[in-house]
Amino acid sequence: MVFPLQETPIWVRVRSGLSQGLWMRLDLPREVRLWRGEHETAVQEAILAVICPGAVVYDIGAHAGSISLGAARLAGSLGRVVAFEADPKNVSRLRENCLRNNLTASLQIVPSAVWTYTSPEIPFRCGGAQRMHGGVEADGQRPVLGSGEMINVPAITLDDFIASGGPMPLLVKIDVEGGEYEVLRGGTNLFAKQRPLIIAEVHHNQAADQIDAWLIEHQYRGRWTIPNENFPRCLFAWPQEYDGAAWLETSTRTPH
């Protein structure tokens, strides 16, 4: 199907995957894979395999909600998806998508970056043509594909968010365009005590090496999915006391 270039995003229903049947306002054709449900299929399957009513999920780098919306439907009114998103334009669209699908009871939107420290302002590079490519540009880190304007956004650590009353997650999903290790560093207490599952899209060698060392230090095990182009690659990680192999085996059998 050929789409005319759209000046503004349009409403469509997701055709398959985790958010199948839900409404999203998307920029077609740039975001056609989100409409088709083809974006991060392994991540979608892993979430489908583990999330049940009442579960709590953190979606860090939620963009327009292609993962958050479907996960919130799975978690139901007794659970919660906490969607962290720093780009104001993405936050606006995420809120629209949440309201359109009547998911306000189970989807909490936090308009903030997640980082190694909490701050009222931190530099953030917007994504340019692809809004999902934005990320924090500070402390020697920058989003690998960010090409848009530089703005200031608030930042919070996972530990500070929980200390302020945030719910404890079963699963933490991270997609922050290069700052994945910084997110993990800000959750020392969370990963030591609550021991959630982790799904992270990792964008460069330095972060991958740092996270490999982090897994050993925090007694986590993981499995990498590495494409032919090497990056971005996806990490599925779990506490060493958890049966992670069974989780991932179940995810490959999850019906689409």
CATH code of the domain containing 176 = 3.40.50.150
Q: Rounded distance, CA 218 to CA 214, Å?
A: 6
Question: pTM value?
Answer: 0.93
Burial 150-160 (b: 16+ CB within 10 A, else e): eeebbbbbbbb
Residue 72 has pLDDT above 60, yes or no: yes
Q: Is position 5 within any domain?
A: no
| 122-174 per-position pLDDT tens digit | 999 998 777 778 889 988 888 777 778 999 999 999 999 999 999 999 999 99
Q: Look at residues 196, 201, 190 and name the one whose alpha carbon lies nearest to residue 135.
A: 201
Q: Is position 232 within any domain?
A: yes
Q: Note down the domain range covering 59.
A: 40-241
Contact 203/230 with Cβ under 8 angstroms?
no
Q: Is position 207 within any domain?
A: yes
Contact 81/68 with Cβ under 8 angstroms?
yes
Query: Domain tally for the chain?
Result: 1
Give the pLDDT band (50/70/90) at residue 256: very low
Give whole-number Cα distances, 139 to 15, 142, 211, 217, in Å: 40, 8, 17, 22
Whole-number mean pLDDT of the chain? 93
